[in-house]
A and B are shown apart, each in its own frame.
Chain A
Amino acid sequence: MNRKNTNKIALTLIQGLSILTILILALILSYLVYRGLRSNNLNERQVIDEVNLTLPFDVYSNKYSKVEELDYFTFKKIVEGKIYSLRRVTSVNRDIKLYIDPSLIDYLSNYFLVDESDLLDSSITQFDSTTIADDKTLLNDIKENEGAIVITTANTKLKGLNKVEVSDNVLVVNSKVTELYGNKRIGNLDEEEVEKLLDGQYKSWGELDGPPVDVHLVDSLDKVESVDGAIMVVDATSYQRAVDSQANIDLLKVFHKVSKRNLTWDYLVSQSEDEGKYGGISSIIINTLIMVLLTVLIATPVSVAGAIYLVEYAKKGRVSTIIKTGIDLLAAVPSIIFGLFGLLVFVQFFNFGFSMISGVLTLSLMILPTILRTSEEAIRSVSPALKEASRGLGATKIETIIKIVIPGASRGITTGIILAIGRALGETAALIFTIGSSTSIASNLKSSSRVLAQHIYLIITEGGSIDEAFASALVLIVLVLIINSITKIIMRRK
C-alpha cells in the first residue's frame, strides 16, 4: 500500500513539474504581451483626479503630441513659456506651439496669474474661435505642427485633434500636516486615500504617516491657514494666489494612475529621435533585419560548405575529429567572449570601427555551428542511392553535390538558417561592443547601427522608460515567435 502511494505521489509530482514549464512560459509570454500593449503608471501629480468641466475654454492638441490631459501647474508653465517642449509633458520630442483665441486672454491671465502681455507674445498664434472650423489653412497648420496646443472658447468643435482635459483642483492643507514628524513625513496619497480623507474616514494625520494632528475638513483658505490639520479642496488659481502672498499652507501631492496603450502603430513606424530616447523604432527594426540578412548571407555558404565536407569528404579520423571538436567548442563559447573577440579583431585590428560589418561578422561566427549542425544532419540523410545514380551517370562528386545533395538537403538547411536567425535576432552581448548604437538606418557597412535587442538593453541601462523597453520587447518576441512557427511549418512538411 505504502509503495503504491509513493508511486502515485511521485508520478503526480513529475507530471505537476512538467506542467509547470508550460505555466512559466505562459506567464512570461502573457506578461510581455500585457506590458507591451498597456502601460500602467503611478504619476505624481499636484492636482486631484477631477476634470474641471466648467471652464470657459476648450483645449485641443495635435494627435501626435499625445497630450490628452493637462494639470493646472503644467499648463501654467506652458502658457508662461517655462515648458517649451513636450518632452517634459508626454515624452514626445517636439517644441510646443500655442494657439490662443484673443477673446480669452483676459480670463486666462486671471486664471493662470500671468501678465496679459505674455499671452500676446509673438510666438503665440492668435485666431478667432467662431471661424476656426472653416479656416482650412489654420487647421492644416495646426495639424502639421506636432507640438500644437490650441485654446478655444468653450464648445468649439474641432475635428482631427485631441480634446485635452484640464484638472485644476488641489488638496490644500495647513503646513503643520506636511512637516517632518520624527522620521516620518506624509507621502503621496493614492486615489483611495484621497476619497477616504475627503469622506472624513481618517481621524488623524498619523494614520497616513503624518503628524498626530486631527484632520479638519474646512471650507475657506483662511481656515486652512489658521487651523492645525486643516484640509480643503480648492481651485488651483486660489491656491496659487494664496501661496504668492506667503500663506502658511501646503499642497498634498497625489498619485495619478495612468493606464494607456503602450505599443502603438506610430511607435512601430516612426523614426527614432535623439539616440532612441524619443520617437519610434522603425529604423531600429530595419537595422535588425539588415543585420540578420547579412549575417545569414555570410554564415550560410561557409557552414553549408563545411557540412558538405564533413559528410561527403572527411574520412573518419583526425581531420574529422578536429573539425567536429571545433564546431562543438565554437557552439559553447559564450556570447560575451564573441563580443570581445569582435572588438579586438573586427573593430580594432581590421579597423572596421563600431559598425554593422563588425557586428555581422561577429554574429556570423556565432551562428555558424547552428547552421552547420542542422545542415550536416540534412545532408547525411540524402539517400545514397541518388548520389550513386548521379555518379553512375558520369557526374563528378562536386556536380553530384550541387545537383543532388544540396537540393535534397535544402529543407534541413533552411531549418538551420531559420534557427540561426532566431538566435541572431535576440543577441545582445556580442553586439554591444561591435555594432555601435546609432539609431539611424545603416547607410553602409561601416555605419554604426542599433538593433532591437540591443535597443532594449540600452533603454534599460541608460535609464529610459521601462514601458518603451516592453513595447520593443513585444516586437522582438513576436519576430522570434514568427521565426519559430516558420521552422515548425518547414519541419512538418517533411
Chain B
Amino acid sequence: MTTIKNNNNKRRVIEQSSRAILLLCALVSIAAVIAITLYIINQGIPFFSKVSLKEFLFSFNWEPSAKENPSYGIGAFILASFEVVILAIVIALPIGLSTAIFLSEFAKGKLSVVIKNTIELLAGIPSIIYGLFGIAIIVPAVRNTFGGNGYSLLSASIILSIMILPTIINISEVSIKSVPDSLRQASIAMGATKWQTIYKVVIPSAVNGIVASIILALGRAIGETTAVLLVGGNSAVFAKTPIDMGRTLTMNIITDMSYAEGTHLSALFATAMLLFLFILFLNFIVVYISSKSRLGQSE
C-alpha cells in the first residue's frame, strides 16, 4: 500500500515539476524580448542626457568622431531607411500581389508547384548571398541605367524587394484564399469577368491580410542589415536622390559598432532603440489589423 502511495506521490511531484519547467521554457521568448528591450534602452537612454532628442532625430549631421563639437544627428539615416523600404514595397507589391492572386485564384498543376517552391527558396536564401548578388548584378545594372557609381539606395531597394517577396506573397495568399467562394460565384453570376471579380470583390475582402503582409514586409525590410550594407554605399551624407549612396539605420549600427566608444557608442544603441521601436510599432499594427479582421469574420 505504502509503496503505491509513495509511487503516486513521486509521480505527482514529477508532474508538478515538469509542468513548472515547461512553463519556464514557454516564458523564455517573452523574457528574451523584455531583456533585449531593457538592455538596448539601458545603453541608449544615457545618450539623451548629452544630446537632445530633437537634434538626434532631426539633425542631418553625423560626425561622431569629430574632435570638437561632435554631432549625432541621424535624420538622414531615418529618411534613407524609409526611402529604401518604401521603394522596395513599391517594386515588390505588384509582383507579390500578382503572384498571390495567381496562386490562390488560378494556380493548378505544375506551374503553381514551381512557383511555390520558388518562393520557399527565395525565403531561404541568406541575406549575405542577396548582398553578394546585388554587388555583382544589381549595382552594375543601376550604374549603367541611372549613372552614379551604382552603390545606391535604389540598389538596396531592389535587393530588399526580392527579399520581401515571400513575406508579401505568403500572407496575402492566405488571406485571398480565405475569401469565401460564394462571393466569387455571386460576382461571376452577375456577369463580371474574372478580373473584375478579383479587382472589385476578392481584393477588397482580403485587404486586411494584404495590408498586414505589407507591414510585416516593411518590418523585415527595415531591420535588414547585411544585404543593404553591401549595396547601399553607406555614405553618412544625406542621399538627395535614390541613386545616391546612402546609409540606413541598420547600416549605421553595424558600421560604427566595431570601434565606437563613449557617446558615439550610446548613439548607436539609441539608433538601435529607434529601430526597435519602429518594429514594435509595425507589429502592433499587424496585431491590431488581424484582431479587427477576426472580429469582422465572426460577425
- The residues of A with any CB-CB pair to B shorter than 8 Å are 3-4, 6-7, 10-11, 13-22, 24-25, 27-29, 31-32, 35, 301-303, 305-310, 312-314, 322-323, 325-330, 332-341, 343-345, 365, 368-369, 372, 396-399, 422, 425-429, 432-433, 453-454, 456-457, 460, 466, 469-470, 473, 476-477, 480-481, 483-484
Complexed CA–CA distance, A344 and B257 (Å): 12
Q: Are A18 and B115 in contact (CB under 8 A)?
A: yes
- Binary CB contact string for chain B from 26 to 42 against chain A (1 if under 8 A, 0 otherwise): 11111111011001100
A-B contact pairs, 11 of them (CB 8 A): A10-B199, A14-B101, A18-B102, A19-B115, A28-B162, A330-B30, A336-B272, A337-B275, A457-B131, A473-B129, A483-B124
Question: Which residue of B15, B39, B195 is within 8 Å of A7 (Cβ)?
Answer: B195
Instruction: Knowing A329-B283, A396-B15 are in contact, say whether A336-B250 is a contact too (CB < 8 A).
Output: yes
Interface-centre pick from A31, A343, A398, A481 (highest chain B CB count, 10 A): A398
- Whether a CB of chain A sits under 8 angstroms from the CB of B63 is no
Q: Are B275 and A334 in contact (CB under 8 A)?
A: yes
Complexed CA–CA distance, A32 and B126 (Å): 13
Instruction: Knowing A326-B33, A481-B121 are in contact, say whether A18-B103 is a contact too (CB < 8 A).
Output: yes
Q: For B114, what are the chain A residues with a Cβ–Cβ distance below 8 Å? A: 22
Q: For B193, what are the chain A residues with a Cβ–Cβ distance below 8 Å? A: 3-4, 6-7
Instruction: Knowing A18-B102, A309-B26, A332-B219 are in contact, say whether A7-B196 is a contact too (CB < 8 A).
Output: yes
Q: Are B36 and A341 in contact (CB under 8 A)?
A: yes
Complexed CA–CA distance, A337 and B35 (Å): 12
Q: For A454, what are the chain B residues with a Cβ–Cβ distance below 8 Å? A: 128
Q: Residue of B at shortest CB range from A344?
A: B39
Q: Are A306 and B118 in contact (CB under 8 A)?
A: no
**Count of chain A to chain B residue pairs whose CB atoms are closer than 8 Å in the complex:** 248
Q: For B62, what are the chain A residues with a Cβ–Cβ distance below 8 Å? A: none
Q: For B33, what are the chain A residues with a Cβ–Cβ distance below 8 Å? A: 326, 329-330, 333
Complexed CA–CA distance, A385 and B199 (Å): 45
Complexed CA–CA distance, A422 and B12 (Å): 40
Q: For B94, what are the chain A residues with a Cβ–Cβ distance below 8 Å? A: 17
Q: Are B25 and A305 in contact (CB under 8 A)?
A: yes
Report B12 CB to chain A, min CB distance, Å: 8
- B45-53, B69-77, B132-140, B239-247 - interface stretch: B132-140
- Whether a CB of chain A sits under 8 angstroms from the CB of B99 is yes
Q: For B276, what are the chain A residues with a Cβ–Cβ distance below 8 Å? A: 333, 337
Q: For B111, what are the chain A residues with a Cβ–Cβ distance below 8 Å? A: 18-19
Q: Are A372 and B29 in contact (CB under 8 A)?
A: yes
Q: Residue of B at shortest CB range from A20?
A: B95
Complexed CA–CA distance, A481 and B19 (Å): 38
Interface-centre pick from A14, A322, A365, A454 (highest chain B CB count, 10 A): A14
- Whether a CB of chain A sits under 8 angstroms from the CB of B43 is yes
Complexed CA–CA distance, A343 and B39 (Å): 11
Question: Which residue of A17, A22, A330, A480 is within 8 Å of B32 (Cβ)?
Answer: A330
Complexed CA–CA distance, A335 and B27 (Å): 21
Complexed CA–CA distance, A333 and B275 (Å): 10
- Whether a CB of chain A sits under 8 angstroms from the CB of B89 is no
Q: Are A396 and B98 in contact (CB under 8 A)?
A: no
Interface-centre pick from A313, A341, A429 (highest chain B CB count, 10 A): A429
Complexed CA–CA distance, A476 and B115 (Å): 23
Complexed CA–CA distance, A35 and B136 (Å): 10
Q: Are A480 and B199 in contact (CB under 8 A)?
A: no
- Interface residues of B: mostly helix, strand, loop or mixed? helix
Report B215 CB to chain A, min CB distance, Å: 11
Within 8 A of A (CB), among B182-206: 193-196, 198-199
Q: For B40, what are the chain A residues with a Cβ–Cβ distance below 8 Å? A: 337, 340-341
Report A308 CB to chain B, min CB distance, Å: 6
Report B267 CB to chain A, min CB distance, Å: 13
- Whether a CB of chain A sits under 8 angstroms from the CB of B280 is yes
Instruction: Knowing A302-B28, A309-B22 are in contact, say whether A484-B196 is a contact too (CB < 8 A).
Output: no
Complexed CA–CA distance, A310 and B101 (Å): 34
- Binary CB contact string for chain B from 72 to 94 against chain A (1 if under 8 A, 0 otherwise): 00000000000000000000001
Complexed CA–CA distance, A435 and B214 (Å): 33
If A17-B99, A337-B276 are given as contacts, then 20 extra A-B residue pairs at C-beta distance below 8 Å, sorted by A number, are: A14-B101, A14-B106, A15-B102, A17-B98, A21-B169, A25-B118, A25-B121, A29-B121, A31-B133, A35-B136, A301-B25, A326-B29, A329-B33, A330-B33, A334-B224, A334-B225, A338-B36, A340-B253, A344-B43, A369-B29
Q: For A310, what are the chain B residues with a Cβ–Cβ distance below 8 Å? A: 26
Q: For A307, what are the chain B residues with a Cβ–Cβ distance below 8 Å? A: 26
Complexed CA–CA distance, A476 and B131 (Å): 14
Q: Are A476 and B129 in contact (CB under 8 A)?
A: yes
Q: Are A368 and B224 in contact (CB under 8 A)?
A: no
Q: Are A325 and B132 in contact (CB under 8 A)?
A: no
Question: Which residue of B120, B230, B272 is within 8 Å of A340 (Cβ)?
Answer: B272
Q: For B22, what are the chain A residues with a Cβ–Cβ distance below 8 Å? A: 305-306, 308-309, 312-313
Question: Which residue of A330, A428, A460, A470 is within 8 Å of B29 (Cβ)?
Answer: A330
Q: Are B126 and A480 in contact (CB under 8 A)?
A: yes
Q: For B226, what are the chain A residues with a Cβ–Cβ distance below 8 Å? A: 428-429, 457
Question: Which residue of A29, A303, A334, A372 is within 8 Å of B279 (Cβ)?
Answer: A334
Q: Are B126 and A368 in contact (CB under 8 A)?
A: no
Q: Are A396 and B14 in contact (CB under 8 A)?
A: yes
Q: Are A3 and B196 in contact (CB under 8 A)?
A: yes
Report B222 CB to chain A, min CB distance, Å: 8
Q: For A476, what are the chain B residues with a Cβ–Cβ distance below 8 Å? A: 126, 128-129
Q: For A340, what are the chain B residues with a Cβ–Cβ distance below 8 Å? A: 39-40, 253, 257, 269, 272
Instruction: Knowing A457-B226, A484-B120 are in contact, say whether A427-B98 is a contact too (CB < 8 A).
Output: no
Q: For A305, what are the chain B residues with a Cβ–Cβ distance below 8 Å? A: 21-22, 25-26
Complexed CA–CA distance, A4 and B194 (Å): 9
Q: For A428, what are the chain B residues with a Cβ–Cβ distance below 8 Å? A: 126-128, 225-226
Q: Are B128 and A309 in contact (CB under 8 A)?
A: no
Question: Which residue of A22, A29, A336, A365 is within 8 Å of B253 (Cβ)?
Answer: A336
Q: Are B11 and A396 in contact (CB under 8 A)?
A: yes
